[in-house]
Structure 1
Amino acid sequence: MTTLDTDDLSTRAARQAQDFRKVWDWPTRLFHWSLVAAILGAYATNRLGANYFTAHLFFGYATIVLVVFRIVWGFVGTRHARFSSFVEGPRGVLRYVSALGRGRKTRYAGHNPLGAVMTLILLGALGAEATLGLFGDDEIFNAGPLAGLVSKDASLALTSLHRKFFYVILFAIVLHVGAVFAHVLLKGEPLIRAMLTGFKPAVLVLPEEAIASSRGVLAVVLLTVLVSALALGLQLAPPQDIDVAGF
């Protein structure tokens, strides 16, 4: 049986605090990986066919809740999760691109300016894609919960847009993943590990830039409110008139 020396544990914790500093709170990290799971789930259930439509809807609902959560968290979350800490105007983005082009070293505790642009693009695109799906109609057995709010022709048009817009999102995801691996392999920045653990090397994060709290209670309350609001909204949605003639 191995015993743990409390002095060794304290030394190890102190060394970790010196070598790494916390940047990403757990709600932001949970959002990120949950969104990945929701996207993969939505894609898989779409490929599996009409029998998995209910599961496909579930992943769409999850995407909507997650996107709205992240938008709100961008105003009330911890330091590096807030939009005000990483979203820059065109000049800031151009300066960053220019620095990259000249091979200059840059340091950002949170998102860099290009990462911020991609974050906004993906949030907007995924939110729009999931919302379009609410009005969808597969012309067989299934329709989205809000299909009854629009005409049949409008529902079919939105369904077509929902299908085609996925390829725009896929392109954005490929760019995002490629940029992440480029930073990991070329610049040696452990971005993936940071989004798993919340910590970045101390050389990339000044002491005053580290976060001390994840504001977990606020995140749980916010998520509960959003899930409840979506559930209530779906309950109040008008019934869909699905054409099942011939079946």
Structure 2
Amino acid sequence: MTTLENHRITSPASYREAATFRRVWDWPTRLVHWGLAASILGAYVSNRLGASYFSLHLFFGYATIVLVVFRLIWGVVGTRHARFVNFLEGPRGVLRYVSAVGRKRRTRYAGHNPLGALMVITLLLVTGAQAALGLFGNDEIFNLGPFAGLVSKEASLFLTSLHRRLFYVIVFAVVFHIGAVLIHVFVKREPLILAMITGRKPADIVLPEEAIASSRSLLAILLFVALTAALIFGLDVAPRPDTDIASF
């Protein structure tokens, strides 16, 4: 597996002194990032509001599925820094980065650093699994997930239990992620939050040849439309339980 070329330096210029910015993150990657954040929060709030908001809870679950699947595909066909091959590193790369941080050496990554890359994959997997499990959910009172009819009641209840438990894993991952970002922003003085909003990083972090020229917008839009249509079709053809929820 290859990594970003020449992405480490031991003493880069101060991040605050950069006079120009170069684009690193395409808008689809940023949309997925903030869209997942909104969907996780929305799913939590709608669940806390009660059974009458179940349809809204489902909407946020559907949004999560589309966003996660899109990001996984975009990790193969997307722009340079969105592709997994350009930021995922093996154990040696991760340990080398952790060692450099521990020795307070400056590091420079145009895209994700190795630990950030692991967090990206972790969040995609756990949020995707959480949303997928919810499709088979059953609260035994009022509501069923749209795919609950595909499995037995026992299986539905088991998957619902996993769905609930996985929430705590997501909370832990999100808290860890936010904490790591805040350390980078306020301790290492790396503008990670601003970069994920604007798509740009200071020029002393991103070499000219590392900047992206476009977001591949047409491909991204077509992919979003295709995934949304596939989800709608799947929901439409999924069998529904023939009995009421109490006997399902």
* TM-score, normalising length: structure 2: 0.90
1:99 corresponding residue in structure 2: 100
Shift of the 119–133 alpha-carbon distance from structure 1 to 2, 3 Å rule, reads same
Contact kept? 1:99, 1:105, Cα under 8 Å: yes
SS of the aligned residue for 1:158 comes to: helix
Return the alpha-carbon distance in structure 1 between the equivalents of residues 187 and 86 of structure 2. 25
Return the alpha-carbon distance in structure 1 between the equivalents of residues 199 and 142 of structure 2. 44
Q: What's the CA shift for 1:18?
A: 5.6
Q: Which moved more, 1:234-243 or 1:168-177?
A: 234-243
Return the alpha-carbon distance in structure 1 between the equivalents of residues 21 and 41 of structure 2. 31
SS of the aligned residue for 2:215 comes to: coil
SS of the aligned residue for 2:138 comes to: coil
Return the alpha-carbon distance in structure 2 between the equivalents of residues 37 and 119 of structure 1. 16
The gaps in structure 1 that reach 5 residues or longer are 1-16
1:239 corresponding residue in structure 2: 240
Contact kept? 1:184, 1:191, Cα under 8 Å: yes
The gaps in structure 2 that reach 5 residues or longer are 1-17
Q: How many residues matched? A: 230
More helix by share: 1
SS of the aligned residue for 1:204 comes to: coil
1:71 corresponding residue in structure 2: 72
Q: What's the CA shift for 1:240?
A: 2.4
Contact kept? 2:75, 2:83, Cα under 8 Å: yes
2:116 corresponding residue in structure 1: 115
Contact kept? 1:22, 1:211, Cα under 8 Å: yes
Please state if 1:188 is matched with 2:189. Answer: yes
1:85 corresponding residue in structure 2: 86
Q: What is the aligned-residue identity percentage?
A: 70
Contact kept? 1:143, 1:240, Cα under 8 Å: no
How do 1:191-202 and structure 2 match up within 5 A? 191-202=192-203
Contact kept? 1:64, 1:127, Cα under 8 Å: yes
SS of the aligned residue for 1:183 comes to: helix
* TM-score, normalising length: structure 1: 0.91
Shift of the 142–93 alpha-carbon distance from structure 1 to 2, 3 Å rule, reads same
1:144 corresponding residue in structure 2: 145
Counterpart AA for 2:116: G
Contact kept? 2:47, 2:57, Cα under 8 Å: yes
Contact kept? 1:143, 1:242, Cα under 8 Å: no
1:26 corresponding residue in structure 2: 27
1:5 corresponding residue in structure 2: none
Q: What's the CA shift for 1:242?
A: 5.3
2:154 corresponding residue in structure 1: 153
Return the alpha-carbon distance in structure 1 between the equivalents of residues 215 and 129 of structure 2. 28
1:43 corresponding residue in structure 2: 44
Q: What's the CA shift for 1:241?
A: 4.1
Shift of the 170–242 alpha-carbon distance from structure 1 to 2, 3 Å rule, reads farther
SS of the aligned residue for 1:211 comes to: coil
Alpha-carbon deviations, 1:14-39, whole Å to 9, x = none? Answer: xxx96111100111111111111111
2:128 corresponding residue in structure 1: 127
Return the alpha-carbon distance in structure 1 between the equivalents of residues 100 and 115 of structure 2. 12
Contact kept? 1:109, 1:205, Cα under 8 Å: yes
Q: What's the CA shift for 1:157?
A: 1.1
Please state if 1:208 is matched with 2:209. Answer: yes
SS of the aligned residue for 1:68 comes to: helix
Return the alpha-carbon distance in structure 1 between the equivalents of residues 230 and 246 of structure 2. 34
Please state if 1:52 is matched with 2:53. Answer: yes
How do 1:9-20 and structure 2 match up within 5 A? 19-20=20-21
Q: What's the CA shift for 1:244?
A: 4.7
Alpha-carbon deviations, 1:85-124, whole Å to 9, x = none? Answer: 1000111001001111111110000000000000001101
Contact kept? 1:23, 1:198, Cα under 8 Å: yes
